[in-house]
Amino acid sequence: MSATNTLPATQAVVLTGTGLPWRLPLLLAVLFVVIPSLAGEYWLGVILVPWLVLSLAGLGLNLLTGYAGQISLGSGGLMAVGAFGTFLLMLHVPGLPLPAALLPAGLITAAVGFICGIPSDRIKGFYLMVSSLAAQFFLEWLFLRFPWFYNYGGGATISLPSLTILGIDFGSARGRYYLVLTIVVALTWIAANLLRGHVGRNWTAIRDMDTAAAVVGIPVNRYKRLAFAVSAFYLGIAGALWAFAYLGSASVQSFNITRSFQILFIIIIGGMGSLGGSFIGAAFISLLPLGLDTLSQSLFAGHVDAGLLQNIEKVIFGVLIAVFVIKEPDGIARLAALFRARAAIWPLRL
């Protein structure tokens, strides 16, 4: 009973190896130029910004779960740390620009993640899930119980006065899109490089079989904790962006256990152990409710009430997860890779 068959190591090769020289600039051009010029305010602010932020969160969890093989249900709590950390830093250090607050907030989250990771040197597998749940519920409780965290405001919510960086206002949908996109692209680039180096190799070795990894001399505990810290850094930044670039104002409820599950589903559906999969999964998760909503509106013109629709959505998610885990455990990213491989040799053989 090894855990290897759900997460084949080939995945990493497929996704880091396909980068033909012209693909990356093309993708960046689409993201930075084509999409903003085509999409309206609604699409940018309500669909693309949350998609990017969720992708970043999914990427963070993917580093931990998909690459280092440590399951976690504490993503929401760590996102809250990032959001509240940013809020408090901006509050207590006047004149601090947002990017300068994001970095230390991310580092604080990384420290919290590191602490959450300490039990992983003795606890494995499902047992570890409990330590992440402990973090999730403790953090939720902490941010709600002590008013200092939300600056004694009413409703326990946090918000920033404005998204101004170096005198430029990023408050519009377009501005927020560019802000989030820049951060997400930079962090994805860093993650890709991290995974290609010895850190990533050691993580996958630990994921595939930690006993074997220890035998060949990888300091397993140190790299597990590093995975927790790095993953938390990403989740913290994602949390701050979710609160301030997407929602505008946030409370602990924005980062509860449901959020943790959502992030987990992103990487299950998108693809565990795949950077691109985080983006695909996030797109899927944020577009499915929207698509379903539009579909039911056009088909039944409001005859289906919102509660039922929500339940249908739940069932569809459940079925999808079951289908994916049975048919394609590596998610949409794997399907896409297979499709690409077929398309490349297309007229010859399909």
Partner 1 sequence: MEFFLETLIGGLLAGTMYSLVAIGFVLIYKASGVFNFAQGSLLLFSTLTFVSLHEAGLPFAAALLVTIVILAGVAVLIERLLLRPLANRSPMALFIMTLGLSFIVEGVAQGVMGAQVHALDLGIDDVPIYLGNIMISQFDLAAAATALVLVGILAVLFNKTRIGLSLRAVADDTRAALSLGINLNRIWQIVWAVAGISGLVAGMLWGARQGVQFALSLVVLKALPVLIIGGFTSIGGAIAGGLIVGAAETLAETYLGPLVGGGLTSWFAYVLAIAFLYIRPAGLFGERAIARV
| 20, 299, 301, 326: which one binds partner 1 (CB under 8 A) | 326
| 181, 187, 264, 275: which one binds partner 1 (CB under 8 A) | 264
Indicate the burial class of 221 (C-beta count within 10 angstroms; 0-12, 13-18, 19 or more). Answer: middle
Question: With binding defined as CB under 8 A, does residue 134 bind partner 1?
Answer: yes
The contacts of residue 39 (CB under 8 Å, 6+ apart) are 48
**Placement of tokens 């802000």 in the chain:** 179
| 40, 97, 125, 197: which one binds partner 1 (CB under 8 A) | 125
Question: With binding defined as CB under 8 A, does residue 127 bind partner 1?
Answer: yes
| CB nearer partner 1, residue 235 or residue 272 | 272
Q: What are phi and psi of 167, to 5 degrees?
A: 80, -5
- Supply the DSSP symbol for 161: S
Single-letter code of the amino acid located at 219: P
| 13, 24, 146, 169: which one binds partner 1 (CB under 8 A) | 146
Complete DSSP assignment for 216-256:
TT--HHHHHHHHHHHHHHHHHHHHHHIIIIIISEE-GGGGS
CA dihedral 214, 215, 218, 221 (to 10 degrees): 20
Residue 105 near residue 82 (C-beta atoms within 8 A) = yes
Size of the site for partner 1 (CB under 8 A): 52
| 13, 33, 130, 290: which one binds partner 1 (CB under 8 A) | 130
In the complex, least distance from residue 124 CB atom to partner 1, rounded to whole angstroms = 7
Question: With binding defined as CB under 8 A, does residue 211 bind partner 1?
Answer: yes
Question: With binding defined as CB under 8 A, does residue 222 bind partner 1?
Answer: no
- Supply the DSSP symbol for 164: E
In the complex, least distance from residue 208 CB atom to partner 1, rounded to whole angstroms = 11
Question: With binding defined as CB under 8 A, does residue 141 bind partner 1?
Answer: yes
| Helical ranges in 96-161 per DSSP H | 98-117, 125-145
Nearest alpha-carbon partner for 73 in 121, 141, 128: 128
Question: With binding defined as CB under 8 A, does residue 119 bind partner 1?
Answer: yes
Question: With binding defined as CB under 8 A, does residue 5 bind partner 1?
Answer: yes
In the complex, least distance from residue 123 CB atom to partner 1, rounded to whole angstroms = 5
In the complex, least distance from residue 69 CB atom to partner 1, rounded to whole angstroms = 9
| CB nearer partner 1, residue 143 or residue 177 | 143
In the complex, least distance from residue 213 CB atom to partner 1, rounded to whole angstroms = 10
| 23, 314, 340, 342: which one binds partner 1 (CB under 8 A) | 314
Question: With binding defined as CB under 8 A, does residue 124 bind partner 1?
Answer: yes
Distance CA 191, CA 179 (A): 18
Helix-then-strand count for the chain, H and E = 16, 4
Three-class DSSP category at 159: strand
* Residues engaged in binding partner 1 (CB under 8 A): 1-6, 71, 119, 122-127, 129-131, 133-134, 137-138, 140-141, 144-146, 209-212, 215, 257, 261, 264-265, 268, 307-308, 311-315, 317-322, 325-326, 329
